[in-house]
Amino acid sequence: MPLWWPLLLASVLFAIGVYGVLARRNAILVLMGVELMLNAVNINLVAFDAYFRDVLHSGQTLALFTIVIAAAEIGLALAIVLMVFRTHGHIEVDELRELADRDVA
Amino acid sequence: MKWVTLLLLLLPFTTAAVTLYAGHRNEGAVKGLAVGGSLLTLGLAFVVAVPQLGDAAPETSVFTKTDALEPVISLATHVDQLSAVMILLASIVSFLVQLYSVGYLHDDPRYPSYATLVSIFTGSMLTVVMADDLWMLLVGWELMGVCSYFLISHHWELAEARAGAVKAFLMTRTADLGLLFAILLIGDRTGSYRITDAVVSAADFELPALLLVVAVIGKSAQFPLHSWLPDAMPGPTPISALIHAATMVAAGVFLVARMYPVFDADSLTLLAVVASITMLVSAFYALVTNDLKRVLAWSTVSQLAYMFAALAVGAWSAAVLHLLAHGAFKALLFLGAGSVVHAVGGRTSMTAMGGLREKLPDTFTTMTVGFGALAGVIPLVGFFSKDAIIHAGLDEVRHHEVIDEQAAWLVLIAMLVTAALTVAYSLRAWLRVFFGPVDPDLEVHESPATMRVPLYLLAVPTVLGGLVFVDPSQVLGERGEESLFHGSMAIAMTALVAVVAALVLYVWWSNDGADPWAPPVEELQPPEDLVYDVVLVRPLHALARAVVIHDREVVDSYANGAGASARGLGWLLRLAQNGSVQQYLMVVVIGAAAIAVAAGVLT
């Protein structure tokens, strides 16, 4: 299998993830965008690991590591989303502007 | 011997440190330490100095020197006859001053720091007179300036004490620049900072010698920097005795005497002119001053000018011996004046005194001796030293070996007029303090024994010191070969003293026993001070105000402008912080993409 197949897949996934993070208003969908970006990176890691025939398989190891980090991250993020829903009654990201510099304009 | 010399240098500073440490913990111990330390210094001074008197070879010791610098700076001492007599003078007077101060400042809360500073002062003077290295001499020289500043402002709650201290410091410090530059030039031209090398060197010393004259003009209060010494009078009286007799102002004369071979005709002519002006001007001020201590201060200025005049006409040994004689009788006069001031309750104006001869018998006896020596009454020490100097002036007019004829005439005339004025102002001060009507309201009491004993101790050399002049080589070795006593001169001078004294008494008597020279105002301000005020002080104040305005209007507006522009830029950046996380992220992504594109384009 040529290298550019998985790289193309990873690029497409990453672009979709970026779009999701930047454009979706629902916090859950933003988190899904983040997951897509993380997994695009994982695909890159595994693809290069195989391509270089790394005897230590550091690419695969790092991919596993990323999966663990992603699991922890999503757990924390969902807890935050839950708290936001309880306090605000919605999870619209662009409505959450408490941290703006209110003195300006 | 070498290590005794070093010990003598360090002992006063050690005494100072211990005295300061004892401080207010134990008042009695402080007095014991201060007096005991200076007594020990005195003993060591005898051990070091007495073998060097007479024909002994000078003793030079080098303790350590820098090895990284050319020319080298060394910690070296050179004790010859001149150093020996100066060591004795400084240590004797400072011991007597310490002893006297125990009585004079008996309940002064600042006594510990005072005693400390007196010890440092003594140590600095010993450093100056023993130093063989010019930088070591400069250290002692500057330390004395600092100590005099602190001691003059001892009563710092008085405005005039603060002003006098600042004036003394500024004036001497300005002139000290002359010494600094002279040292650098001497080091540059001879390749050595040692005095013993400089005085035998054949290098061109014209400029350094002139700079040295500038330095001593400041330190020894000569015209045009003479007005700081009378203004230093708000300091405690024993300090005046120390400054005027043995340290500080004496250091200027010592420096010229020590570096004498360096001075050529030009610098000696400058010294002669300065000394002539100074002795006349200050003798006139002494005659019309109301304050007893200021009279003595002006007389010090005048007598120092005598010494410089003697040096300018080549009378080295007469100048040195007059320095010693003056040290003895001026210390006596100041300590006596302190006793009088103490007796009349701290006032120094002679209007508060009068008729004190019966109330203060010991002070009267000793001060009479002191005033007699100042006026040049035979057979007191001042008579011999002054005659030797005037005789040297006469010789110089005849042969003009050192300076040219006009300068020699100027010096001689100034010396004769000053001699007459000295008789007049000494007699006037003596009459006003000890004779005339007694103030009936005054509670007068004779001073304690610690104050009277130094007076009698100082009266001894004042009376017997004349013996030295018969054969000065016993003290000064080969530089004092010639006898300084001249019979015809003695007769002429005694006649001068008698005539002037008779004239003063006649004027006094025809003025109904009142002072004919009492100034119309309580204290005259010397006109030179007005000149300084117009030429220096006011332009400086104006300049300072201009600087303040410039600072406020120009510098501050730049600083404020910088602050305002930073604030404006910050306001623009604050607009970006609108709380929308997604917009922030958008900026991050665009930025990252831009960097990636830029990296791709550039590589």
Say yes or no: A34 contacts chain B, CB-CB below 8 A: no
Helices (H), chain A: 4-23, 27-52, 58-88
B461 vs B557: which has the higher pLDDT: B557
Other C-beta atoms lying within 10 Å of the C-beta of residue B64: 9
Q: Give pLDDT, residue A60.
A: 92
Q: Give pLDDT, residue B544.
A: 94
The chain A residue lying nearest B579, using CA atoms, is A100
Residues 6+ apart with CB under 8 A from B112: B19, B20, B22, B23, B24, B27, B30
Q: How far apart are CA B189 and CA B211, in angstroms?
A: 14
Buried b (16+ CB within 10 A) or exposed e, B43-52: ebbbebbeeb
Q: How far apart are CA A61 and CA A49, in angstroms?
A: 10
Q: Residue range B32-41: average pLDDT? A: 86
Q: B322-331, B480-489, B517-526: which has the minimum mean pLDDT? A: B517-526
Judge: B577–A101 Cβ closer than 8 Å, yes or no: yes
Q: Give pLDDT, residue A51.
A: 92
The chain B residue lying nearest A102, using CA atoms, is B578
Q: Give pLDDT, residue B524.
A: 66
Please list every residue in chain B whose beta carbon sits closer than 8 Å to the beta carbon of residue A105.
Answer: 575
Q: B16-30, B312-326, B565-579, B588-602: which has the minimum mean pLDDT? A: B16-30
Please list every residue in chain A whose beta carbon sits closer than 8 Å to the beta carbon of residue B577.
Answer: 100-101, 104
B28 vs A93: which has the higher pLDDT: A93
Contact B215, B172 (CB under 8 A): no
Q: Residue range A91-95: average pLDDT? A: 87
Candidates A18, A23, A100; nearest CB to B577: A100
B2 has a pLDDT exceeding 90: no
> pLDDT tens, B478-492?
776 666 777 777 788
Whole-number average pLDDT of chain B = 84
Chains A & B: contacts with CB separation below 8 Å: 34
Judge: A22–B589 Cβ closer than 8 Å, yes or no: yes
Residues in chain A: 105
Candidates B577, B578, B586; nearest CB to A22: B586
Cα distance from B569 to chain A (closest Cα, Å)?
Answer: 13
Contact B122, B141 (CB under 8 A): no
> pLDDT tens, B307-323?
998 888 888 888 888 88
Q: Give pLDDT, residue A104.
A: 59
> pLDDT tens, B413-429?
888 888 888 888 888 88
User: What stretches of B416-546 adopt beta strand conformation (E)?
Assistant: none
> pLDDT tens, B152-186?
888 888 888 888 888 888 888 888 888 999 988 88
Cα distance from A56 to chain B (closest Cα, Å)?
Answer: 30
A12 vs B366: which has the higher pLDDT: A12
**Torsion sign across C-alpha atoms B187, B170, B271, B323:** negative
Top mean-pLDDT range of A69-83, B176-190, B287-301, B414-428: A69-83
Say yes or no: A99 contacts chain B, CB-CB below 8 A: yes
Please list every residue in chain B whose beta carbon sits closer than 8 Å to the beta carbon of residue A104.
Answer: 571, 574-575, 577
Residue B533 — pLDDT band, cuts 50, 70, 90? confident
- As a whole-number percent, the residues of chain B with pLDDT over 90 amount to 8
Q: Which of B185, B45, B38, B46 is nearest to B97 (CA)?
A: B38
B466 has a pLDDT exceeding 70: yes
Q: What's the complex ipTM?
A: 0.83
Say yes or no: A94 contacts chain B, CB-CB below 8 A: yes
Q: Give pLDDT, residue B315.
A: 82
**Torsion sign across C-alpha atoms B250, B313, B52, B136:** positive
The chain A residue lying nearest B572, using CA atoms, is A104
Candidates A93, A103, A104; nearest CB to B582: A93
Residue B520 — pLDDT band, cuts 50, 70, 90? low
Residue A78 — pLDDT band, cuts 50, 70, 90? very high
Q: Give pLDDT, residue B523.
A: 63
Cα distance from B547 to chain A (closest Cα, Å)?
Answer: 40
The upper half-sphere exposure of residue B114, i.e. CA atoms within 13 Å in the direction of its Cβ, equals 29
Q: Give pLDDT, residue B592.
A: 93
Estimate to the nearest angstrom the gap between the alpha carbon of B332 and the chain centroid: 17
Tokens 């003594």, located at residue = B122
Cα distance from B558 to chain A (closest Cα, Å)?
Answer: 27
Kind of pairing, strands B59-65 and B74-79?
antiparallel
Candidates A30, A97, A103; nearest CB to B580: A97
Judge: B589–A94 Cβ closer than 8 Å, yes or no: no
| A-interface mutation test, from B572, B573, B581, most A Cβ less than 10 A away | B581
One-letter identity of residue B502: A
Please list every residue in chain A whose beta carbon sits closer than 8 Å to the beta carbon of residue B585.
Answer: 21-22
B521 has a pLDDT exceeding 70: no
